[in-house]
Amino acid sequence: MTIAVTGTSGHLGRLVVESLLARGAAPADVVALARSTEKVADLAARGVVVREADYDRPETLALALDGVDVLVLVSGSAVGQRVRQHGAVIDAAKGAGVGRVIYTSAPHADTSPLVLAPEHKATEELLAASGLSTTVLRNGWYTENYLDDVRGAGESGEIVRSVGDGRVASASRADYAEAAAVVALDARLGGSPAGSHDGAVYELSGDVAWDFDELAAAAAEILGRPVTYRRLTADEHRAALLAAGLDEGTAGFVVALDGDTRDGLLAETSGDLARLIGRPTTPLAEGLRRALDA
């Protein structure tokens, strides 16, 4: 049985492939799909099947998915383009006879006011209408999203945000990738494990919801210098981002995400992620340190 993973030249897709191999998948049974196959040539050298798959070139997708039994559809990174891109992959998966699609979505995508949710909600609706067997992994926030804050604190001694007292139940990308690999391998094996994931929707997040004072403390531990969290209002934050050279759209998006954090939309600790991977999720400071070392 063959498992394909999209976006393998990116961070999460690559880690899903690595997790599949670490959990015993034969390299010849894993298909790494990438827009630029040169970027995953090292996987091909290890025996992984590498195929071109470009979300923006639907003609590449049918060949890419030929003979695939289970597809891990890693959501695209192009905001505003995801629904069209994901729809092309779903159509190709249906045409190729893929047995299961595992999609990396966003927290409570069907009901959340999270600024990123609408495109994921629309993709989940496309999957539901496709008739394909599906599993939805609603990935929470990645610890790696805060690397720039830590790096900046190395210079300034501050983490400056407009999240108020909001909390984030983050986990490392490797944790989320391992969950995708677990579900994909269970689907491949068939029987009751696969049945338990068929049609399932998992709300994935870290075990601990931390606040930004705790992020500053983790940064201080890693950097070996004092770091504090300085709170801004949304207007102050927008003005600071514009002064730093961001355009209005990007500044507004960042401030909206901080508002979502302030409103508690990233704070849920469901326990689903730890249950899927069979271990606690990676603690904040450890996840940051590993990412910085990498």
Residues 132, 210, single domain; the answer is no
Task: Indicate which CATH number applies to the domain containing 9.
Answer: 3.40.50.720
Residues 6+ apart with CB under 8 A from 230: 158, 159, 160
Residue 184 lies in a domain: yes
Residues 57, 194, single domain; the answer is yes
* pLDDT recorded at residue 194: 43
When pLDDT is cut at 50, 70 and 90, the band that residue 174 belongs to is very high
Residue 273 lies in a domain: no
Residues 185, 71, single domain; the answer is yes
Residue 216 lies in a domain: yes
Residues 159, 135, single domain; the answer is no
Residue 274 lies in a domain: no
Give the total number of structural domains in the chain.
Answer: 2
Residues 157, 91, single domain; the answer is no
* pLDDT recorded at residue 294: 85
* pLDDT recorded at residue 191: 42
Distance (Å, whole) CA 29 – CA 100:
15
- Contact, 70 vs 188, CB < 8 A? yes
Residues 232, 199, single domain; the answer is no
Residues 119, 153, single domain; the answer is no
Give which of 218, 203, 212 is closest to 283, Cα–Cα: 218
In three-state secondary structure terms, 285 is helix
Task: Indicate which CATH number applies to the domain containing 243.
Answer: 3.90.25.10
Q: Which amino acid is at 30?
A: V
Residue 272 lies in a domain: no
- In the β-sheet with 30-34, what is the strand arrangement from edge to edge? 49-52, 30-34, 3-5, 70-73, 100-105, 134-139, 201-204
Range of the domain at 249: 141-170+205-267+279-294
Residues 58, 158, single domain; the answer is no
Q: What is the pLDDT of residues 56-93, one digit of tens each?
A: 999 999 999 999 999 999 999 888 899 999 999 999 99
Residues 20, 115, single domain; the answer is yes
Residues 97, 236, single domain; the answer is no
Mean pLDDT score, 2-16? 96
Q: What is the pLDDT of residues 275-293, one digit of tens each?
A: 999 999 999 999 999 999 9
Residues 28, 130, single domain; the answer is yes
Last residue of a domain, one of 204, 223, 251: 204
Residue 17 lies in a domain: yes
When pLDDT is cut at 50, 70 and 90, the band that residue 198 belongs to is confident
* CA 12 to chain centroid: 6
Residue 24 lies in a domain: yes
Last residue of a domain, one of 153, 179, 204: 204
Last residue of a domain, one of 204, 223, 253: 204
Residues 96, 160, single domain; the answer is no
* pLDDT recorded at residue 80: 85
